[in-house]
Amino acid sequence: MNTAELKLKIFRQIDRLDKNKLKDIYGLLTNYINGQQDSADWDKLSSKQKNGIYQAIDELDKAKQVLNEKVIPKV
């Protein structure tokens, strides 16, 4: 199946969906496209930046986070 045939097949399948399923597919497609862009952004980070993110995730997993309200008091 060539690209044009594949696009037409996908379009026809999407065109038959009800409103709720269409919204679901739109969300999935958007997440997939954004995920592809996000991974390209990840590749641009330095090792130090990536390690900082991993450390932050680890702290969240261990419930060591600090609430925003404690870090930045309301003025």
- What is the band of 35 on the pLDDT scale with cuts at 50, 70, 90? confident
Sign of CA dihedral 45, 48, 51, 57: negative
pTM, entire model:
0.44
Q: What percent of the chain has pLDDT over 70?
A: 93
Alpha helix stretches (DSSP H) within 1-67:
3-15, 19-44, 47-61
Are 34 and 45 a contacting pair, CB within 8 Å?
Answer: no
Residue 50 tokens read as 């990536």
